Amino acid sequence: MMFLKQNQLNSISSFSMRSFLGILTLVVLFGSTAIAAVALGDWNLEKDKEGVKVYTRKSATSSLKDSKATVTIKTNVDAVLDLLRDFDNYPKWMYKCSEGRLLKGVSDREFYVYSVIDSPWPVSDRDLATHVTATQEADGTTILKMDGVASYTDKVKDRVRVPEFDGFWKVAPNGDGTVTVTYQFHSDPGGSIPDWMANSTSVDIPYHTLLNMKNKLEK
């Protein structure tokens, strides 16, 4: 299964495609530590509503919280991956993702993405360059690992570059016509943002992103 369709790979050099979280969410921007085997604090359930559960924990590297969210959706793995590779439409359902483009497609499973996270006035918008790699397990579970690469592209005026980011999407089939999606990330948003404001998004961003995904795929 290809994560990027061939025609997308062929056309990367001729145009840029909007949004891939920033994936990637960053849609995102504030939250948890990706697939790392590090002894951290316990996950605490912060929100459980409309099928979406959001957890936070103390970060090992900053005063901001790590985040993890899960949801079960009546769909299949391919449908979720189709949504995740529909770059132009990310701003329609990825919470706070206002802009994005594919910077480089290395292969159908490795690429670099630029995203912008909308921030409330008077805080400057954040932007993020991310290295994304896709792997698939024997049972069909697909993991998209995201690592921030702040120096990969030039900084943009009036936007603050996110200096630290890592996270992942995990899409796992349940064998009953549903899949479980996990969205986990950690970030240092950079610049000057009150911790209380940044930490408030550690619940809002993953919650609304997964709820929007669920509603879109279950239509």
* Nearest C-alpha neighbor of 150 from the set 124, 102, 189, 95: 189
Assess if CATH 3.40.50.1370 describes domain 16-217: no
Average pLDDT value for residue range 142-158 = 95
Residue ranges per structural domain of the chain: 16-217
Q: For residues 172 and 180, what is the distance between their CA atoms, to the nearest angstrom?
A: 5
Residues 6+ apart with CB under 8 A from 176: none
* Nearest C-alpha neighbor of 108 from the set 10, 18, 219: 10
Residues 6+ apart with CB under 8 A from 160: 124, 125, 126, 127, 189, 190, 191
- Whether 134 and 110 have beta carbons less than 8 Å apart is answered as yes
- Whether 178 and 77 have beta carbons less than 8 Å apart is answered as no
- Whether 68 and 32 have beta carbons less than 8 Å apart is answered as yes
pLDDT-derived band at 218 (thresholds 50, 70, 90) equals very high
Q: For residues 185 and 155, what is the distance between their CA atoms, to the nearest angstrom?
A: 22
Summarised one tens digit per residue, pLDDT across range 53-96 is: 999 998 887 777 899 999 999 999 999 998 888 777 889 899 99
Bigger pLDDT: 191 vs 66: 66
- pLDDT score, position 4: 58
The model's pTM is 0.80
